[in-house]
Amino acid sequence: MLASVLLDECLKAGIDFFTGVPDSFLKGLCDELYGRFGTDSAAHIVAHNEGGAIGLCAGHYLASGRPALCYMQNSGLGNTVNPLTSLTDPQVYSVPCLLVIGWRGEPGTKDEPQHIKQGAVTLSQLDLLGIPYRILSPDTTEDDFRGLFSELLEALRAQKPAALVIRKGALQSALKPAYGNGAAMAREEAAGLILEASGPSDCFVSTTGKLSREIFELREARGEDHRRDFLTVGSMGHASMIALRIAEEKPDRRVWCLDGDGAAFMHLGSLPLIGRRSPKNLVHVIINNGAHETVGGMPVCSRALNLRELARAAGYPRILAADSPDSLREALSSLKAFEGPVLLEIRCACGARANLGRPTTTPLQNRDAFMDFLRS
């Protein structure tokens, strides 16, 4: 079904504000929103995380009396539990909000390991939260959709949240926005230069998405094993906290956190905690392409927010930046003279190789090999 039908029905029903965090299953909706409204307008805001998006929806309703739409991957339901139970719930402020949720890891479908558990419990989570839902499938007709949408509107009129759960391929868009940022250096090239600059005892914690997939394939191309790398395939935004505690437990090793801008903004409170703890052996790399590139390319919430100044204010003693292979080599070379925590922001282009593969080891194999390396 075309995402334009969903948006048109929302607007007819008085749902005129849209916010959330992009998901690949919702790319059609995200493309439609970007094409119609941009990403930072009166009608559409890309939020820093899904819980914050629920707060925006609540604020919209309190100010206008009209419900809003909040879109997310089902993994983002965890970020919404607090505001859904303590803010929008009928037993608290009874705020209507339409949730549009991409159903990654649906039972019976093939997906990545980090989605399996969440996919299995998505519907039961909504049941537990008391949120009525309807499922949109690729074969749902427009007439069928209007019928189930009217049922969800009844819940919104009763001043409570309702959800539309989206199966893979259910939402399409005729709009094909040209996402991008004008940067020249590929993320995979930057990751390769970082691996070249690392020492044999260094370890890596990489964030969820294509960056971890690129790290895995770079190790393969270099003829190396994967025991030095913890590939955080889920838990978006938490790689820096994993790396922080590893750095404190293993002060004799240099620990690299390979983060993304969208992930860093999702839980920005990690920066001042790292600054306060000040592990001398931590290098916090943020790959900044200005986009949720792994799930389609929608720009992140930051716009022109200066990551380096944020890190400086958070207490990082050393801030570095690079936007080309030469400037990255220079920054990496200078690391030898500095104690951490170091923030290294690398501006990269959007996009990845079309033939980029996925890790061939399981998360448990990754965990065990990494822990064995840390003990060695």
For 292-344, the pLDDT digits (tens) are: 887 877 788 766 678 899 999 999 999 999 999 999 999 999 998 888 899 99
Tell which CATH classification among 3.40.50.300, 3.90.930.12, 3.40.50.970, 3.40.30.10 matches the domain 187-375: 3.40.50.970
What pLDDT score was predicted for residue 99? 98
Tokens of 232: 């955080």
Q: Are 352 and 214 in contact (CB under 8 A)?
A: yes
Tokens of 221: 């191309």
Which residues partner with 343 through β-bridges? 284, 319
Tokens of 133: 């839902």
Q: Of 203, 234, 226, 211, whose CA–CA distance to 105 is shortest? A: 234
What pLDDT score was predicted for residue 134? 98
What pLDDT score was predicted for residue 296? 79
What pLDDT score was predicted for residue 304? 66
Residue 19 per-residue DSSP state: E
Q: Rounded to whole angstroms, what are the CA distances from 310 to 96, 305, 332?
A: 35, 8, 21
Which of the four pLDDT bands, split at 50, 70 and 90, describes residue 178? Answer: confident
* Run of H or E including 311: helix 307-314
Quote the CA–CA distance of 234 and 227 in Å, as a whole number: 18
For 13-58, the pLDDT digits (tens) are: 999 999 999 999 999 999 999 999 988 899 999 999 999 999 999 9
**How far is CA 117 from its chain centroid?**
18
CATH 3.40.50.970: which residues of the chain?
3-166, 187-375
The string of DSSP codes covering 52-84 is HHHHHHHHHHHHHS--EEEEEEGGGHHHHHHHH
What pLDDT score was predicted for residue 302? 63
The sheet carrying 68-73 orders its strands as 44-46, 18-20, 68-73, 97-102, 162-166, 133-136
For 105-154, the pLDDT digits (tens) are: 999 999 989 999 999 999 999 999 999 999 999 999 999 999 999 999 99
For 133-144, the pLDDT digits (tens) are: 999 999 999 999
Q: Are 279 and 340 in contact (CB under 8 A)?
A: yes
Helices (H), 164-266: 187-197, 210-221, 239-249, 261-266
What pLDDT score was predicted for residue 352? 87
Put simply, whether the predicted model's pTM sits higher than 0.85 gets the answer: yes
Q: CATH 2.40.50.100: does it fit domain 3-166?
A: no
For 56-104, the pLDDT digits (tens) are: 999 999 999 999 999 999 999 999 999 999 999 999 999 999 999 999 9
